[in-house]
Amino acid sequence: MNKVNYLQKNEKYFIYVFITLFFSVCFPILKDFGVTLDDEIYYLNGLNTYNYVKALFLNITNPEINLDLYKSKLKEWPIIFEFFLVFLSKIFQIQSIDKIYLFSHQINFIIFCISLIIFYKFISKRFKNFFFSFLSVIFIVLSPRIFGESFYNSRDIFFMSLFIFYIYFGYIFIENKNIKNLVLFSIFTALLLNTKILGIIPIFLFLLFYMYNFLDSSKKLLKEKNIIYLFFLITIVSIYILWPYLWSNPITNLYYAFINILKAHESLVVINFYFGDYIQSDMTPWHYRLVWFLITTPLIIIFLFSIGFIFQCFTTQKILNKTLKKNYNMDTNQFYDLYLFFCLVFTFFIVSELNTSKFGGWRHLYFLYPIIIYFTILGFKFLKQKFTRIYFKFIILLIFTNMTYNLIWMFNYHPNQYLYFNNVSKGYFVKNFDLDWWGISHKQVLDHILKTDDSEKIYVYSKGFTSLRNTYLFLSEKNKSRVILSKMDNADYIIDNKMKRIRDYKAIDRKVFTKYHVLKVEDQPVSVVYKRIDKF
């Protein structure tokens, strides 16, 4: 058997070996990452939902249980991840909040790793090339911000992971419209919407292009009517089952969920540090998320994506022109090229123009990253076809160099991969843009304080927007007994990560506090600890 045939026969196992090795190396470092500012409120919503579901079933045998009491604590936010976390925590009897937070990181990372396998399969189906498929996974893994947040970001990275499942099962459904594929696609459609309301955009666009391409005549509509009915039935039932907030009043509560979530996001006004200026999030310019994408994504990915995207612009025009002809149907690859192209463009347009309050970098759009990698591979394929062998080897060398640099950077600045900026004017961006908007660095500085101070009680205050409470809950029970969250005037230590998202005019009195410890990434202070002078 020659080497080529051997590779073709066994390449499907390679991704499993690679992800297993990746998981084995990364799983032990989960404990190094901090927690986000939002973790407690999302966990409590999951816990309240779990208690409501439990009470609802117990009410069958015990009508005296006051269901309204449990129902009143429910929030309208989708709670798939948090409910799953609480449910598994109860099964495995994980009770302390620090262990629950760690368990949350473990679940998030496991799902992320599984989604990498699914993404490999998706790219493999689309491009029929082992190297392209494996390279797509490498691009995601060695994107430092995506890598870092895959451990703790159970909102945006979890949503991205589910989006990968969604586009993959959508692809195999179009290829083969059997019951199994229809059910899987319907379930992941429901999961996507039940994870974030933003999921309605890719779902709507998929249905729109599906109707445009496959149901463009009454004859086709009649032929697929059973598939359509079954898809909507399974999807709607799945949305209802997976979202307990809807159980008491499905239509009304779904409406209020959409309205209230959008209102809550738009009414949340914070302060962004953007191009060296402090700007209210509702006054942030339209290019905010686009700029954040451009300065935090590896350069080689931006380069290849730009080529693939421009190429797809011309291809899209040609495909749309062909579809105007009678009886022309796009094949699965053309359909997905068109669908993902418009999914990317329309989502960026909608959140730029209609989303008033912009904050948190571009993390709310992380779910688009698989699409970006998709067109990155398309750009790579285009260069492979157009360039001579020598010039194409140069492109491969650039990819290898950039990815190697990212790997070394990720190793050197662990666990601060979320602070990565690419090499274009890095010195400027790291000084003139937000760094730790979620309080992730609090864990590192608190660990340093606990390690260097042997006092029985340590009073700590966090200056600025990001509270210490979530990080405090992530401490072991022993360390919780030592740390006391206090006000500035009573603090032994003040932690300042420079996030001035509230009007905090009270300056640190340098006659009382002295600079004690500075957490730096590439010589840029991320979090500064001040220590009370007269107490030590």
Measure the CA angle with vertex 264, ends 261 and 268; round to 5°. 145
Q: Which of 221-225, 408-412, 503-507 has the lowest mean pLDDT?
A: 503-507
Phi first, then psi, for residue 85 (nearest 5°) are -65, -50
- Residue finishing a domain among 346, 375, 404: 375
Residue 515: is its pLDDT beyond 60? yes
- Give, for 458, the enclosing helix (H) or strand (E): strand 458-463
122 and 245 both lie in a single domain: yes
> Cis ω on the peptide bond leading into residue 285 (within 30° of 0)?
no
Q: Which of 250, 227, 365 is nearest to 296 (CA)?
A: 365
Q: Which of 131, 137, 195, 135 is nearest to 163 (CA)?
A: 195
Helix, strand, coil percentages for the chain (3-state, nearest 5): 65, 5, 25
Residue 508 structural domain: 442-532
Encode pLDDT of 350-395 as tens digits: 988 778 888 899 999 999 999 999 999 999 999 999 888 888 899 9
The DSSP secondary-structure symbol of 61 reads: T
Q: How far apart are CA 136 and CA 138, in angstroms?
A: 5
Encode pLDDT of 301-340 as tens digits: 999 999 999 999 999 999 888 888 767 788 999 999 999 9
What's the token pair of residue 185? 């696609």
Integer CA distances (angstroms), 467 to 380, 474, 536, in order? 44, 13, 25
Looking up tokens 């239509």, which residue turns up? 251
Residue 397 lies in a domain: no
pLDDT above 70 as % of the chain:
96
Phi-psi region of 498 (alpha: psi -120 to 50; beta: other; left: phi over 0): left
Residue 402 lies in a domain: no
Residue 242 lies in a domain: yes
Confidence class of residue 3 from pLDDT cuts 50, 70 and 90? low
Q: How far apart are CA 292 and CA 403, in angstroms?
A: 20
pLDDT at residue 8, rounded to an integer = 59
Q: Give the mean pLDDT of the chain.
A: 91
pLDDT at residue 503, rounded to an integer = 55
Residue 56 lies in a domain: yes
pLDDT at residue 429, rounded to an integer = 87
Residue 427 lies in a domain: no
| Mean pLDDT of the 411-437 span | 89
336 and 242 both lie in a single domain: yes
348 and 448 both lie in a single domain: no
Encode pLDDT of 521-533 as tens digits: 988 889 999 999 9
73 and 194 both lie in a single domain: yes
Encode pLDDT of 232-256 as tens digits: 999 999 999 999 999 988 999 888 8
- What single-letter amino acid sits at 21? L
160 and 249 both lie in a single domain: yes
Confidence class of residue 282 from pLDDT cuts 50, 70 and 90? confident
Residue 129: is its pLDDT beyond 80? yes
pLDDT at residue 482, rounded to an integer = 95
What's the token pair of residue 202? 């890719």
147 and 267 both lie in a single domain: yes
Looking up tokens 């190429």, which residue turns up? 311
More confident residue, 442 or 507: 442
- Give, for 372, the enclosing helix (H) or strand (E): helix 369-386
Residue 6: is its pLDDT beyond 70? no
pLDDT at residue 504, rounded to an integer = 57
Confidence class of residue 20 from pLDDT cuts 50, 70 and 90? very high
Encode pLDDT of 494-508 as tens digits: 998 877 655 555 778
Count of the separate structural domains present in the chain? 2
How many C-beta atoms lie closer than 10 Å to residue 451's C-beta?
A: 8
Residue 420 lies in a domain: no
pLDDT at residue 440, rounded to an integer = 94
Q: Which of 91-95, 290-294, 426-430 has the lowest mean pLDDT?
A: 426-430
Integer CA distances (angstroms), 37 to 27, 42, 104, 141, 524, in order? 23, 10, 14, 25, 22
pLDDT at residue 536, rounded to an integer = 64
SS3 273: strand
- Residue finishing a domain among 375, 409, 427: 375
Q: Which of 81-95, 107-121, 171-185, 515-529 has the lowest mean pLDDT?
A: 515-529
Rounded to two decimals, the pTM is 0.94
Confidence class of residue 5 from pLDDT cuts 50, 70 and 90? low
Structural contact between residues 82 and 45, judged by C-beta atoms closer than 8 angstroms: yes
pLDDT at residue 500, rounded to an integer = 62
Structural contact between residues 241 and 57, judged by C-beta atoms closer than 8 angstroms: no
104 and 206 both lie in a single domain: yes
451 and 338 both lie in a single domain: no
Q: Which of 134, 121, 78, 87 is nearest to 107 (CA)?
A: 87
Residue 518: is its pLDDT beyond 90? yes
What's the token pair of residue 167? 């586009």
More confident residue, 135 or 466: 135
Residue 30: is its pLDDT beyond 90? yes
pLDDT above 90 as % of the chain:
67
Measure the CA angle with vertex 330, ends 115 and 128; round to 5°. 45
Confidence class of residue 264 from pLDDT cuts 50, 70 and 90? confident
Residue 461: is its pLDDT beyond 90? yes
Residue 251 lies in a domain: yes
Confidence class of residue 424 from pLDDT cuts 50, 70 and 90? confident
Residue 422 lies in a domain: no
Q: How far apart are CA 422 and CA 416, in angstroms?
A: 14
Integer CA distances (angstroms), 532 to 217, 270, 493, in order? 76, 29, 6
325 and 214 both lie in a single domain: yes
368 and 509 both lie in a single domain: no
- Give, for 530, the enclosing helix (H) or strand (E): strand 524-532
367 and 237 both lie in a single domain: yes
Confidence class of residue 136 from pLDDT cuts 50, 70 and 90? very high
- Residue finishing a domain among 375, 406, 426: 375
How many C-beta atoms lie closer than 10 Å to residue 194's C-beta?
A: 22
